[in-house]
Amino acid sequence: MPRTDHPPRERRRSLPEWFKKPLPKGGATSAVRGLVTGLGLHTVCESAKCPNLNECWSRKTATFMVLGNNCTRRCFFCSVPKAAPDPVDPDEPRRVAEAARRLGLRHVVVTSVDRDDLPDKGAGHFVSVIRELRRAGDFVVEVLTPDFRGRPEGADEVAAAGPDIFNHNVETVPRLYRTVRPGADYRGSLALLARAKRRGVLTKSGLMVGLGETRAEVLDVLADLRAHGCDIATIGQYLRPSDRELPVARYLPPAEFEEIAARGREMGFLGVYAGPFVRSSYNADAVYATIRR
């Protein structure tokens, strides 16, 4: 049975030296927060306590999180609230497009909470968001979807709507799924990416390290992703959002991330991006520009 308890509390460890970076200056962060709040939107930046929030928002970019702020899953690495889901807001896609336009974005990343309560698991809402963004401007559209549990055809519907990138994270190695990502299925996530790839879109996936996996397991995941047609992979350090989530088992040094990325590139990915601060949507515009050259 999946775990229902919370991870043990532990005394916070100091972050290694390579996690220190200066805070950005200027008022752009407040401007982004005001815009998002004013339009009644959510961002994964805030809800998941992303360590890159200040950096990204200072550049007036954010990852929108649709379908509410409450998730129907209980993943033990994630700080997004686990509660009764919000009603689906049919006007949310329009407001996402409006926010993207007012921020002057060229590359828009849209993700969501898991919505296992919905008949289509949220796929139709992603389609609506993509359509609104296409109407609103000439954006590069990247979707970071859940696994549409029990309804894999959701990948077909979203990919057919024409995003530039279909992103779905495997998150961790198969051995740790019951501990890290209960309720999800590793092979199901791989199959989801393969379905999207058959629609002709670029596919992308990410995983966290520092949860107790081995180097060999990480490389095996990269090999599995590549075998299922995944074009882009991201690997970043897991950081515990609060004492309610899983503790960090190990902080990988930058050189180790570089070695993993090099091994991944040898497998034939269009791009492999790894580092302590790398997240699936972090610098997504720069990643896309690099692989499209």
Residue 204 forms beta bridges with which residues? 167, 232
- Rounded to an integer, what is the distance from CA 289 to the centroid of its chain? 18
Phi, psi of 43 (to 5 degrees): -125, 145
Helix (H) or strand (E) holding 167: strand 165-167
Helices (H), 228-279: 254-266
What is the predicted pLDDT for the residue at 56? Answer: 87
pLDDT one-digit tens code per residue, 145-200: 999 998 999 999 999 999 999 999 999 999 999 999 998 999 999 999 999 999 99
Token digits of residue 56: 């990204």
pLDDT one-digit tens code per residue, 229-279: 999 999 999 999 888 899 999 999 999 999 999 999 999 999 999 999 999
Domains annotated for the chain, with CATH where assigned, are: 40-291 (3.20.20.70)
Token digits of residue 284: 């997504």
Residue 109 to residue 56: CA distance in whole angstroms: 12
